[in-house]
Structure 1
Amino acid sequence: MTTPIWLKDEPWLAKWLGWFLDKLDNRDGEPSQRAITRRIKKSTLPALYDFNEDTQGRWQLLQQIARDHGIFEIRPDNKRSAFQEPYENAQCRLNSDCEALLREWLNRPKQDPVVQAWQQAINEHAASFIDNGEALLNQKPQIPGLTPAEIVSAFANIEPYLNQNLTLREIAARCFNGDSKALDNRFELLLKLYGDNANGIQPRPLLLTAWAPPGFSKLLIVENQDSFLRLVENSPEDYALLYSGGFRASATRLSSEHARFAFLPGSDPERFKQRWLDEQTECHFWGDLDFAGMGILKALRNSLPNLQAWQPGYQPMLEILNTGGGHTPQQTRKTAQTDPGTTGCPYTDSTLLPALRQTNSALDQEAIHIP
């Protein structure tokens, strides 16, 4: 159904009906079951009191809408005097079932209150962003405890910090009530909001702990702290050790100038720097025998293409898995882990991953001790 012709010819009526939609769109927490009503008075519907016009025809039109379309119910005021107009102080009670019809008549689609809140907040700060805040409206980033108005305001306050040699974490802490992680994984959003100015944000250094004994020639990256420290106590011959801390070392920053190393006492930092990322250096990875661990190995190979799974660590773990040991993903909340498919490491792709799929079990590396 399209807008009735007679409604287009009666702007006073469209305004009267629009008031009811305004109330629906701005309930401000009122119970949705509460009826929306309005009394006909000179102050609310002056078109019925302009006696230079056909007020009786207008009143009949209002009654027709109530009778034929059920938009609202008209309840006369029983206390009015015989000398008053029949519509004086009559109550119009909106029929909520006719909201869709009323919106179609007035071409006013129902607005999502969440979208409205974001749009209103962005309108107040649109000039702060090169895209007028369109990226914020499209993404609506959620930050626990903050309203859309507070989130948009915080994003609008970022601009002065973009060229102060600060990291994303430092900027987030300054703009989001001390929450340094509020902007994690949101650099692309900042590029849309601030353009090239966002490139002034300093990359966060990747801090890694290493044990590099004099004369080593091979490198072993270890996923978990306890296993790393055990190996430091009894270092495999000819190996330098690097603690990766889960996925931290899998970032592209691993091979960039932003990687920083903290060396344990007794290390040879200069030799490590010479051998680090040298294509001739034999590199291995040892972590948990689960899909996440294999995913780390795959990601690390982006920076270290010759990286291989460390068989002295994985072989005893594999034997435990193949003899019924290990734990299921459900037992350790690992059900969200995804199979990496192939990693490019022959031993991993031909032996470790098939075992994980066949046994539906996993084993954390702390379960074994390397003599």
Structure 2
Amino acid sequence: MNEPLWLKANGTLQLLNYIVDKLDAADSQGKSLVRAIKLDGKSFPALYKSGLEEEREQLWGFLQQMVLWGWFYVKLDRPQSGQALYECNPRLSILNESEVRRVTGRPVRIRSSAELWREAVFVHLNSDESIKETVSRLKVEIPGRSAEEIVHQLALLPSIANEPLLLREVSARLFWGQSKVLDGRQQLVATVLQQDECPFPEMPVQLQVHLPQDGFSGVLFIENQATFEQATRDSTKRYHDLALVYSSGFKGSAKRLRSPSGSSVYFAAHGAIEEKQTAKFIGWLRAEVKLHSWFWGDLDYAGMRILAALRDVFDGLAAWQPGYEPMLDRLRKKEGHAPDEAGKAGQGVIEETGCHYADTQLLPSLKVCGTFVDQEVV
């Protein structure tokens, strides 16, 4: 059609550009413009700020023509006596975005990869809004794959969360055989799985083990390396009859500890290294030999989570009372530290571990006192 001159007039273009601004603003947030636009002095100043009745009627007529063309739909309140239609609280809905953009010379904005990723996350990831918000800031790009395809695969993570896999094995399984997609993206994995740490290690878990010279009948996991080193050289017989084990990141890697391909064992040279003793430990680790086992770490919620994670793998594992009792005594004497004093303010409360001693003594005391005690004080 031959377009009328008024379509390019300043008053009309002000309205049309305002409409496109609203469309672009909604698009930048990954949304569609669903709310009608109220026509007033802000959206259509040429009409509503004009002091001439004739000019207002003319501009309203231009809008009505665009309605007849199918560009817009305008909803009005019931007019009162003597009211002009543009005074009846008009609300405009957009029916033909492409024509509005053509006239204004403003085509659909090319959306950034970050915007496409955010939209895909909020549409395809079945999680809480807070989880989606975090994941939307952790963009993954794979050449030749759309954001929707990647998020769809990422959403499958919970289905393999309990399998003893390395991080690159997970990546290859999810992302079309590409093993390095999740390198350095442990936070993304942990967020999708709603866990504190990524459960898939980059490499087999390395276990440092000290075996007593006189043999052992139980196994003690120790959270902190300094305490482990001190314990391996202790001369008080406090750790008599115990194989001592240390590994960084017990909680995140607990499921892999018993898998032959998931953990590597290194025996301390200043402990027993005879084949009979080392074979006994390996037999216990691979669930071929039954031994009692315990965990001892910081008296805080992170330590209790490690305890709970290890209990999922080692039947009957419990909190080690000889280690925790003096720490518990300090806690009750108000000799602990506030979480924010040691960078632990982000530790969430854990309700139970499954260990009777921890659930009836340690956790209740942590909640009442509101402070923590580090393992190294003992």
TM-score bin (small chain): 0.5 to 0.7
The Cα of 1:308 is off from its aligned counterpart by: 1.2
Quick check: 2:204–2:264 contact (8 Å CA) kept in 1?
no
Tell me the alpha carbon deviations over residues 166-202 of structure 1, each in whole angstroms, 9 at most, x when there is no partner.
Answer: 44589999558x74547534788xxxxxxxxxxxx99
How far is the alpha carbon of 1:348 from its aligned partner? 1.6
Distance in 1 between residues matched to 2:252 and 2:121, nearest whole Å:
37
Answer yes or no: is 1:104 the counterpart of 2:93.
yes
**CA displacement at 1:365 relative to structure 2:** 0.3
1:209 correspondence with 2:208: yes
What residue in structure 2 maps to residue 21 of structure 1? 19
Contact 1:225 1:243 in 2 (8 A): yes
CA contact (8 A) 1:289 1:365 kept: yes
CA 1:295–1:187 in 2, change beyond 3 Å: closer, same or farther? Answer: closer
Q: Name the residue aligned to 2:189.
A: 184
In structure 1, the residue matched to 2:264 is: 261
> Which sections of structure 2, spanning at least 5 residues, go unmatched?
1-6, 29-41, 45-54, 68-88, 98-107, 150-166, 194-199
Residues 296 and 24 (structure 1 numbering): CA distance in 2 closer, same or farther, change over 3 Å?
Answer: same
How many angstroms does 1:253 deviate by?
2.2
1:226 and 1:26, CA in 2 relative to 1: closer, same or farther beyond 3 A?
same
Give the CA deviation at 1:363: 0.4
Question: Quick one: distance in 1 between partners of 2:92 and 2:17?
Answer: 12
Which residue in the other structure is 1:309 paired with? Answer: 319
Structure 2 partner of 1:229: 229
What does residue 244 of structure 2 align with? 241
- What is the distance in 1 between the residues matched to 2:309 and 2:296? 13
Q: Is the 8 A contact 1:328 1:361 kept in 2?
A: yes
Matching residue's letter, 2:205: L
Q: Offset at 1:356?
A: 1.9
1:293 aligns with 2:303: yes
Unaligned runs of 5+ in 1: 1-11, 30-34, 38-58, 72-99, 123-130, 160-164, 189-200
Counterpart code for 2:320? W
Shift of 1:300: 1.2
Q: Secondary structure at the match of 2:334?
A: coil
Name the counterpart of 1:345: 355
Cα separation, partners in 2 of 1:187 and 1:338, compared to 1, 3 Å? closer
Tell me the C-alpha RMSD between the 2 structures: 5.2
Alpha-carbon contact 2:210-2:244 (below 8 Å) kept: yes
Distance across 2 between alignment mates of 1:339 and 1:132: 28
Please say if residues 168 and 179 of structure 2, whose CA atoms lie closer than 8 Å, have aligned partners that are also in contact: no
Distance in 1 of aligned mates of 2:253 and 2:201: 19
- Describe the shift of the 1:357–1:203 C-alpha distance in structure 2 as closer, same or farther (beyond 3 A): closer
Alpha-carbon separation, structure 1, partners of 2:144 and 2:186: 14
* Within-5 A mapping of 1:96-175: 104-106=93-95, 117=112, 121=116, 135=124, 139=132, 141-143=135-137, 151-153=140-142, 156=145, 166-167=168-169, 174=180
Letter in 2 for 1:232: T
Indicate how the Cα distance of structure 1 residues 208 and 107 shifts in structure 2: closer, same or farther if over 3 A, else same. farther
Normalised by the length of structure 2, the TM-score is 0.55
Contact 2:169–2:179 (8 Å) recurs in 1 = no
* Alignment partner, residue 79 of structure 1: none
1:327 corresponds in structure 2 to 337
Contact kept in structure 1, 2:206 and 2:247, CA below 8 Å: no
CA shift in 2, pair 1:308/1:202, >3 Å:
closer
Are 1:206 and 1:258, in contact at CA under 8 Å, matched by a contact in 2?
Answer: no
Tell me the distance in 1 between the aligned counterparts of 2:204 and 2:338: 36
TM-score (normalised: structure 1): 0.55
2-structure distance, mates of 1:248, 1:262: 17
For 2:157, the equivalent position in structure 1 comes to: none
Corresponding residue for residue 282 of structure 1? 292
Q: Distance in 2 between matches of 1:326 and 1:348?
A: 17
CA distance in 2, matches of 1:355, 1:120: 46
Partners of 1:134 and 1:284 lie apart in 2 by 44
1:340 positional shift: 2.1
In 1, the alpha carbon distance for the partners of 2:16 and 2:314 equals 65
Letter in 1 for 2:204: P
SS of 2:189's equivalent in the other structure is coil
Q: How far does the alpha carbon of each residue in 1:235-275 deviate from its partner, in whole angstroms, 9 at most, with x for none?
A: 71111111142444663223334431331224343221112
| Structure 2 equivalent of residue 318 of structure 1 | 328
Q: Secondary structure at the match of 1:251?
A: helix
Q: Which residue of 2 is the match for residue 365 of structure 1? A: 375
